Amino acid sequence: MVVAKIAPSLLSSDFARLAEECERMLALGADYLHMDVMDGHFVPNLTLGAPIIKCLRPHTKGFLDCHLMVSNPEQWVDDFASAGADLFCFHYEATKDAAALIDRIHAKGMMAGMAVKPGTPIDVVYPFASTLDQVLVMTVEPGFGGQSFMPECMQKVRDLRSRFPDLDIQVDGGLDPGNIEVAAKAGANVIVAGSSIFKAQSPADVIALFRKTVEAAQASA
């Protein structure tokens, strides 16, 4: 059975203290460190890239879950592998040959994830699910943090979970203590959250709540 994994989005961290922020999140109970990579083309925002991952890698043993919101993700596979990324998640909408890209990611020693935007039907993932380590269902439009959760995306999670019970299903966008139960009951087990963790009075309590809610949903399923 899949297990709950909580992945704070470092997009909401203090970038001037990125390594410290990563270690702080791990100490507070995080499982993954979610790294939002944006190129200013596939999405309008511009954030970090492989050079930052490479600099960060010696300072943390945490699992670097790299979500590439970029055009032509193929061109970055080698760089992120060399930088020390653990999981390379690309957007279905950004590639013309997902199968070849998944194979290449695995050949470079990384786990492979596929993300879909809110407007993309989930059935595009089905032909590739057996070769993927994770599927990311976006619950906001990719590109900026702090957006509101889109509950209509939960039908995608339900459909995906019913067909692939052993798949890691990640949700990203607007997750907070007020909607985590909806996502967990739909079948999501990997929870990305930025603002609701980093801006919380007690980030550890939010992480613990997310985990408890996912585990409770799994137990009652």
Question: How many angstroms separate the CA atoms of 195 and 174, rounded?
Answer: 8
H-assigned helices in the chain: 18-27, 50-56, 77-83, 98-107, 154-163, 180-186, 195-198, 203-220
Annotated binding residue 143: yes
Nearest to 82 by CA among 66, 69, 71: 66
67 annotated binding-site participant: yes
| Residues assigned a catalytic role | 36, 172
* 97 labeled part of a ligand binding site: no
Q: Is 34 annotated as a binding residue?
A: yes
On whether 41 is known to bind a ligand per the annotation, the reply is: no
144 is known to lie in a ligand binding site: yes
Task: Please check if 164 is assigned to a binding site.
Answer: no
Binding site feature residues for a divalent metal cation: 34, 36, 67, 172
